Amino acid sequence: MVDSRARIIILKVVAVLLLLILCAKLVQLQLIEGEEYFEVSQNRMSASYVEEAPRGEIYDRYGNPLVTNEVVYSLQLTKSGGDDAQFNKMLVDLVNILERAGIPHTDNLPISDYPYVYEFEDENEDGSTDDERAAWFENNAELADSSVSAEEVIARLCEEYNVDPGYDTTAVRWITGIRYEADMRGYSWTSPFTIAEDVGVEVVSQIKERQEEFPNVIVSNTYKRKYEQDGLAMHLLGRVGKMNEAEYEIFKEQGYSYNDIVGKQGLEKYAESYLRGQDGTVGASAGIGDNEVSVVENKAPVPGNYIVTTIDSHLQKAAEQALEENIKEIAAAGAGQEKKGGDAAAGAAVVIDIKNGDALALASYPSYTMEEFNENYSQLANNEDKPLWNRAVSGTYTPGSTYKPLVAIAALETGAITPTEIIEDKGVYTAYEGYQPRCWIWSEYQTTHGKINVSKAIEVSCNYFFYEVGRRTGIDVLDQYSAMFGLGEYTGIELPEEVTGQVASPEYKAKVATTVTESSWFGGDTLQAAIGQSYHSFTPVQLANYAATIANGGTRYKVNLIKSVHSSVDGSVIKEFEPQIEEKINMSEETIEAVKSGMRRVVDEGGSASSIFSDYPVAIGGKTGTAQVGSKVSNNAVFIAFAPFDDPEIAVAVVIEHGYSGVNAAAAARDIFDAYFGFTQEETPQPSVTATVAATSSPEAEE
């Protein structure tokens, strides 16, 4: 009887235990792992996948392709259904294949190879990685804070992903980096993670031949941006790449997935909404409901819209070559001579259509190719000459004497001087007792320009004349006219990297001054501002548009880089970028004539650029500038110009960092004019920079 009761109790205990085990399993399957198994079930019911839409292409103004697409193979990871050990081994084997083929894998964990240290990239190119570092720790608060070492982060990831301690440090870094990246990008059963792009046929063949070793790897067709003339117009075209965390926070509301490609710089970034296509769906998608299977129709991808730019690719190439060749010649000519241009290594050139504001060329030197960017990003990013920097719209430079035509216009229009008024250059300007600057010709030759009017003053770039004119006009009026001509203002060009620069003003001086005494604005500050020094700092695109505004008689246009946007499906116009007038400056004919006459003399009647443009087939108006930028380096060379003089078509601005003399920038501008007008070097031979440097005892002697 007792034995029978004992057996019953044992059976009841066993039954309860079995029930508890069953309940625990149900909790695990339905609550703890329910979402994952739901994804698995959904995946089994669906044979559909996303078909990527090609990104819109980019063309020059004449329909010549600048950026297109090519189909390439990519490798994608689906979420593992097995254990971590198997998945980790598969990753190591896969990366070994990629490494042997020289193909990088996707891994943005900001930690180096062993010994592990943090490595953050300056993604916004502001010269610091502090903001990227702070953002990463903020977005990864559950993993680490700023007090946690990189080695400890790796250890935590190893624990999370069950990484076998037997792996070497290289394999550990591969596994943790890839799995971290995949998780950050939200990969799942139905949303694969792209581990490698632009994979060659040999790698694809190995993966397919050993498919049983790589059950979670999918080979797919994707699109890669193809730069038809790799290296041409790189700064304005920009680049694309996978989103970072900050970008995803912006784009996720627009339906982007974390794995999508977006524009990172230049036109690719500005025109993201136009260039992005609509992904499609390939394969039959089945949904089970009420014991019925419904088939959803496939959805074809829609390519992104294509863009026609204002750029003339022939002129763009000529501008880039002119910069490179002249900068190298200046550096060679000045080598071994103190402050004679031996340190010239960078610059920018901009060409604008005077009649509508179209940017025909935007060159920045040094530059790079996309192949170099992909293979040697670290070298490019750390190069002291900053080849990734778009100097044409992001570089700001003291204009030097190229600012003097604006001072003349402001003075003439406000009545501070008249076109015929004579001012005598006395060498030393003595209007202020405490500050008495000298004209450059007095400092160099102990002589003066004598009695001159405004046109002659522009021709010979007389500092004394413009000291007097600047004092009479006043800094407030100069700042007002600077804004009217777009100096220190956005030009409106469709590039997100554009900066405004700065005009010299009492407000700006007070803002940047370190002491109360230094913050005061003095008369001497106005004198320096009037000859293009002081706090003036303008972009090359602003200088080109300023020259265009003078040339066309006072109409300042918004600078356009996009001409039109078209549907890639039927070619219809999505948006036309019409010329847009930003400012209509009322100038008298006498003012325009006096200023333009002076600019004509600069390149014709013995002015600073006459040696460069003597006997040039087309009449040109221009102004050189030599801007002091430090006591131990060569001065910057600046030149603005327009042509033809009587019926202007284009305006050009050239800035050469440490180019020694404005005439050297004029030499680069001449090469650009040659390309625009279709002249050959044989038709318009020009003096060498070497001869220019040898014949010039100081850069001021050319002003």
pLDDT of residue 517: 73
pLDDT of residue 302: 94
pLDDT beyond 70 at 482: yes
pLDDT of residue 150: 96
The pTM score is 0.86
Report DSSP state, residue 79: P
Q: Which of 666, 686, 676 has its CA nearest to residue 643?
A: 676
pLDDT of residue 697: 41
- Rounded average pLDDT over 374-401: 94
Q: Please, which residues have CB within 8 angstroms of residue 38's CB and are 6 or more apart in sequence?
A: none
Helices 169-184 & 150-160, crossing angle to 10 degrees?
Answer: 70
Q: Which residue has the higher pLDDT, 623 or 243?
A: 623
pLDDT of residue 624: 98
Query: What are the tens digits of pLDDT across the range 610-661?
Result: 999 988 999 999 999 999 998 899 999 999 999 999 999 999 999 999 999 9
Token code pair at residue 698: 């100081």
Beta-bridge partners for 625: 638
Q: How far apart are CA 505 and CA 616, in angstroms?
A: 39
pLDDT of residue 457: 97
pLDDT beyond 60 at 43: no
Q: Which of 413, 381, 544 has its CA nearest to residue 480?
A: 413
Instruction: Give the confidence band of 79 by pLDDT, cuts at 50, 70, 90.
Output: confident
Q: Which of 559, 530, 522 has its CA nearest to residue 651?
A: 559
Q: Where are the beta strands (DSSP E) in 151-206?
A: 193-199
The number of beta carbons lying within 10 Å of the beta carbon of residue 320 is 23
Instruction: Give the confidence band of 377 by pLDDT, cuts at 50, 70, 90.
Output: confident
pLDDT of residue 291: 43
Instruction: Give the confidence band of 140 by pLDDT, cuts at 50, 70, 90.
Output: very high
Q: Please, which residues have CB within 8 angstroms of residue 357's CB and are 6 or more apart in sequence?
A: 545, 548, 557, 558, 559, 560, 579, 580
Q: How far apart are CA 300 and CA 305, in angstroms?
A: 16
pLDDT of residue 375: 86
Query: What are the tens digits of pLDDT across the range 574-618?
Result: 999 999 999 999 999 999 999 999 999 999 978 999 999 988 999
Instruction: Give the confidence band of 277 by pLDDT, cuts at 50, 70, 90.
Output: very high
pLDDT beyond 90 at 285: no
pLDDT beyond 60 at 195: yes
Q: How far apart are CA 186 and CA 242, in angstroms?
A: 13
pLDDT of residue 514: 82
Query: What are the tens digits of pLDDT across the range 619-630?
Result: 999 999 999 998
pLDDT beyond 70 at 13: no
Token code pair at residue 142: 């559950």
pLDDT beyond 50 at 701: no
Mean pLDDT of the chain: 90
